């Protein structure tokens, strides 16, 4: 009931910037939480930055001061501005959303397919 479409990944040199976008669509009444995770080869999926239902933002310590998450509620879209990128930021970045899909209080979660970010040294 919820679909996510990500864009904005790519190859960048260390110190460069990228901006990721994730748009949610489907039978969405409201977004409960939405944000970004990343997963490197053979590694676990880790939180990068997220919005909670009350608008609070959470960041991984490793990206604080470099990455900024923002959102457009009217478009059910979140953005991740990534500055001062480092080779260790290289990973697949996945969007996640939890949305209310029913007035009865039913929620749905979804993951995007992921967008690759590669930072060269």
Convert the pLDDT of each residue in 46-97 to its tens digit: 999 999 988 899 999 999 999 999 999 999 999 999 999 999 999 999 999 9
DSSP state of 45: -
Give the pair of three-digit tokens for residue 24.
């949610």
Helix, strand, or coil (residue 61): helix
Convert the pLDDT of each residue in 23-52 to its tens digit: 999 999 999 999 999 999 889 999 999 999
pLDDT (0 to 100) of residue 105: 84
Residues 9 and 31: their CA atoms lie apart, in Å, by: 23
Residues 6+ apart with CB under 8 A from 102: 27, 29
Side-chain half-sphere exposure of 31, counting CA atoms within 13 A: 26
* Mean of pLDDT values over 11-15: 98
């Amino acid at each position: 009931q919820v679909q996510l479409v990500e864009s904005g990944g790519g190859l960048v040199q260390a110190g460069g910037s990228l901006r990721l976008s994730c748009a949610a669509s489907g039978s969405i009444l409201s977004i409960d939480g939405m944000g970004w995770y990343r997963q490197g080869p053979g590694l676990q999926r880790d939180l990068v930055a997220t919005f909670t239902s009350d608008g609070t933002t959470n960041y991984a310590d490793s990206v604080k001061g470099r990455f900024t998450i923002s959102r457009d509620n009217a478009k059910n879209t979140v953005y991740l501005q990534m500055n001062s990128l480092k080779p260790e930021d290289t990973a697949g970045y996945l969007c996640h959303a939890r949305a209310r899909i029913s007035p009865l209080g039913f929620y749905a979660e979804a993951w995007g397919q992921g967008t690759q970010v590669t930072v060269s040294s």
